[in-house]
Structure 1
């Protein structure tokens, strides 16, 4: 992932940040508001590490995947739906209601 993913969805990353750096506090993260330099400085202060060490840890952390709760955020819905279009049969609309997904042409009577 790239820093802009983190910055654009800053509050959604709080859980992942606190998991990686348990010394971090949500209130402080609110004030940082996705500013990478401020975040590195903050982590150096609360962990007692050098900023270069924090930069390296952050670089390694960014190599990971975007957490699923961030990907599932409604902000990403249309993008995720559009990406799913490659799995939708030709002639079907990837934005259509999927309540009957997989039931196309199913003419069996209901057992109600």
Structure 2
């Protein structure tokens, strides 16, 4: 993912940031407000690394997947579905119905999938 994406959705990344850097503080993240340089300096400070090491660690973090609850649009959804193919058994289609996961059993099958 690119920093512009993180910056545009800054508060939505708090959970992912706090998961990666447990010593990070939400109020400080509020102050940083998506400023990449400030974030790099902050991560260097809390991890006791130099700025270059922190920048490299953040770069590796950015190379990961976008948290699924961050962006909800067809482009990202379809991208995530395609990537999930590695977890789908051979011969199955990752775009196929997910009824086998059990959540579809909670709804009566009236043939009308609108609203879900």
Q: How high is the TM-score relative to the length of structure 2?
A: 0.63
Larger radius of gyration between Structure 1 and Structure 2: 1
In the other structure, the counterpart of 1:99 is 114
Following the alignment from structure 1 to structure 2, what is the Cα–Cα distance between the partners of residues 11 and 37?
A: 17
Higher relative contact order (CA 8 A, sep 6+): 1
Give ranges in structure 1 of 5+ residues lacking alignment. 88-97, 102-112
Q: For residues 12-41 of structure 1, what are the alpha-carbon distances to aligned partners after superposition, in whole Å with 9 as ceiling and x for unaligned?
A: 000000111111000000000000000001
CA RMSD of aligned residues (A): 2.2
Give ranges in structure 2 of 5+ residues lacking alignment. 79-94, 96-112
Q: Alignment partner of 1:22: what SS?
A: coil
Number of residues of Structure 1 aligned to a counterpart in Structure 2: 82
In the other structure, the counterpart of 1:36 is 36
Shift of 1:62: 0.6
Q: For residues 33-67 of structure 1, what are the alpha-carbon distances to aligned partners after superposition, in whole Å with 9 as ceiling and x for unaligned?
A: 00000000111111111111111001111111110
Q: How high is the TM-score relative to the length of structure 1?
A: 0.66
In the other structure, the counterpart of 2:16 is 16
In the other structure, the counterpart of 2:108 is none
Moved over 6 A (4+): none
In the other structure, the counterpart of 2:59 is 59
